[in-house]
Amino acid sequence: MIRAAGLGKRYGAKRVFDRLDFELERGDFLVVTGPNGSGKTTLLRLVAGLAAPTTGELEVAVERAQLGFVGHEPLVYRELTALENLDLYGRLYRVPERRERIGMLLERFGLWDARGQRAASFSRGMLQRLALCRAFLHEPELYVLDEPFTGLDDEGAELLDRELAERRPRGTFLVATHDSARLEPLATGRLAFA
């Protein structure tokens, strides 16, 4: 599903990483680890198509409609409510039975009671839950998740554990994290940045 050969990324004179090779087959769960600034986020942005590689080749055999992305920002409008944000993305992704699906996700991620509140009033953890709802809304094939546990309380983290385990058999995962032990039971491989 993903093949990187000699992949490199620079921002001006700053080299983020160089000569990176890896493959991700359909159904794999690859955990990306490494210290801050080592290039985990950059790699995920390259895979999502949000940035272009400086050198090497990167093939991602998935259309945009089949990619679910969670980044450092929740990618939601702060002046819109949780429901309005998900409705916007649901329309753009042509999600079938959109309203039912949004309702189910909001319920599952514990945001149903806050569905009419503007995202600006949400805590960091609630925003992360909303970001996960947004990324899972269209049932993607490829999940690109950058520190998906950030901001979540214990209950939220356990909820995400369950959600990932449930989606694991029908998805392919590329997940950057500082807590690789948490994802150990799901992982099929590990890519460690120095």
Partner 1 sequence: MSTRRFAADVATLARKDLRLELRARDTLPAMLLFVVSALVVFHFAVPDTSSRLASNGLLWVAIVFTALLGLGRAFVPEREHGVLDGLVLAPCDRSAIWLGKGLAALAFLAAAEAIALPAFALFFSGIGGGTVAGVALADLGICLVGSFVAAMSVASRARELILPLLFLPLAIPIVIGGVGASVASGPGRYLAFLALYDAVFAILCWASFEYVVTE
Pairwise CA distance, residues 119 & 80, whole Å: 6
Identity of the residue, 77 or 178, whose beta carbon is nearer to partner 1 in the bound complex: 77
The answer to whether the CB of 181 falls within 8 A of the CB of 33 is: no
Binding mask 125-154 for partner 1 (x = CB under 8 A): ---------x--------------------
Q: What is the residue whose two structure tokens read 């995202």?
A: 119
* Closest separation in Å from C-beta 73 to partner 1: 4
Q: Which tokens go with 118?
A: 């503007």
Burial of 98-113, coded b for 16+ CB within 10 Å and e otherwise, reads: beebbeebbebbebee
Residues 29-48: x where in contact with partner 1 by CB under 8 A, - otherwise, as a string:
-------------------x
Binding marks (x or -) toward partner 1, 65..104, rule CB under 8 A? x-x-x-xxxxxxxxxx---x---xx-xxxx----------
Judged by CB under 8 A, does residue 52 bind partner 1? Answer: yes
